[in-house]
Amino acid sequence: MRKLIYWRNITGLSWNASNVINFSRRALFFRERQIMERKATAVWNGNGKEGKGHLTTASNVLEQTQYSFTSRFEDGKGTNPEELIAAAHSGCFAMKLTFNLQEAGYTATELNVEGTVTLEDGKITSSKISLKAKAEGVGEEEFSELVKDAEKNCPISVLLDTEIQVKYELN
């Protein structure tokens, strides 16, 4: 993981080695911006309909996981890109909502998120999120706002250029 650090000197001190070394004793604040790169590999052999492939992620969570025409467009064994996008969107949304709740002073007991990605005429046309949430103390109106923010701002939502729909049940 690469890190970019932005320093802001709020004391008016000039920048020199002693200021940076002694930043904990002076009122210097910094914010850290993390840049992460995640990698996966796809290998495909053969033609489109009869061929087959496998996917491997750097974490090895997927390790030569099979995918094919039948796993993508029929009910064959293996995964497919749309299923992986649905999983990524569900996980991303759940984490963003968790952080939203935490920032508002709440902790979710459980967020059960199901994602459905629709592929229509060769294009992803929607990603639907269905959420069943257990979070004590948060009101319906505030929860709705936190959900809307997660829907709009989780990194996968930002990435997807499609209609995103979220429906939820609280407690």
**pLDDT score, position 16:** 42
Angle between the 81-103 and 140-153 helix axes, to the nearest 10 degrees? 130
Rg (CA), the chain: 22
* 0.85 surpassed by pTM: no
Rounded to whole angstroms, what are the CA distances from 152 to 16, 67, 94?
A: 41, 30, 13
Q: Which of 165, 160, 167, 70 is nearest to 123 (CA)?
A: 160
- Sorted by where each starts, the structural domains of the chain and their CATH numbers stand as 2-35 (no CATH), 40-73 (no CATH), 81-170 (3.30.300.20)
pLDDT at 11 exceeding the cut of 90: no
Phi, psi dihedral angles at 37 (to 5 degrees): -120, 125
pLDDT at 22 exceeding the cut of 50: no
Question: Mean pLDDT throughout 30-42?
Answer: 83
Question: What tens digit of pLDDT does each residue of 58-100 get?
Answer: 999 999 999 999 999 999 999 999 999 999 999 999 999 999 9
Q: Which uninterrupted H or E stretch holds 28?
A: strand 28-35
**pLDDT score, position 31:** 57
Contact assessment for residue 162 and residue 124, using Cβ atoms and an 8 Å cutoff: yes
The SS3 of residue 13 is coil
The SS3 of residue 12 is coil
- Reading the block at residue 2, the tokens are 């690469």
DSSP-H helix ranges across the chain:
17-21, 69-73, 81-103, 140-153, 155-159
Contact assessment for residue 115 and residue 86, using Cβ atoms and an 8 Å cutoff: yes
Give the dihedral sign, CA 11/17/20/21. Answer: negative
Question: What tens digit of pLDDT does each residue of 101-143 get?
Answer: 999 999 999 999 999 999 999 999 999 999 999 999 999 999 9
Grade residue 3 by pLDDT with cuts at 50, 70 and 90. Answer: very low
Question: Mean pLDDT throughout 12-18?
Answer: 42
Q: Which residue has the tokens 């995918």?
A: 67
**pLDDT score, position 106:** 97
Contact assessment for residue 38 and residue 58, using Cβ atoms and an 8 Å cutoff: yes
**pLDDT score, position 161:** 85
